[in-house]
Amino acid sequence: MVTLSVMTVLYLATSVSAGGCPSGFFYLPNAQSCYKLMAETQPWGYSSERCSYLSATSHLAVIDNSEEDTAVSDYLNSLDFNTEELQHCSYKERSVFYIAGQRKDPTDCQSAFVWKKEGSEAKEMEYTNWPSNEPDCVGSYGSKATCLVYDTTDNATHVWNDVACDMYQCSICEDNPLA
């Protein structure tokens, strides 16, 4: 009879897949990172916590450059949002996903957007993909838009949009355990 240590069991339960990704994540070679679409709709803070619980190195996605932006957009475009699992991530041919951006001061619409990961210091954004009219700080029902989503208007071209952090959205988690 073989007895496994607790550490061995934990390692086997969280073993990495192709590309060095934790189980359930999909490796995007052009982004050089692993991603997981979370089809459960939650507010930004809960989404951030949920991503960080998936592995020791996972977090809401941080889009650092145009290559990564294109790779994530292409991945999302490859998904079928008519499936039962993903249909609530799409509404009227529009899909919206939280990523790790939030205003430096979430109570101030004039503060800059930064990348925020659970348990880490905020990181300045060096790359952005805002359309010309964003960020505009216009949230739903009079709330301030201080969180960042990966947004589409035609389920094809993904751009950034600022939304209220209490909106219930799907999210994109990222993990790069080999970085």
The reply to whether the predicted model has a pTM over 0.75 is yes
Domain CATH for 41: 3.10.100.10
Per residue in 121-172, pLDDT (tens digit) is 899 999 999 988 888 887 766 678 899 999 876 656 788 999 999 999 999 9
User: Strands (DSSP E) along 17-157, which ranges?
Assistant: 26-28, 33-42, 59-60, 96-103, 113-115, 123-124, 147-152
pLDDT of residue 81: 80
| 148 in a structural domain | yes
Question: How many structural domains is the chain composed of?
Answer: 1
| 2 in a structural domain | no
Per residue in 4-57, pLDDT (tens digit) is 333 322 333 334 445 589 989 999 999 999 999 999 999 999 999 999 999 989
Rounded to 5 degrees, φ, ψ at 52 are -70, -20
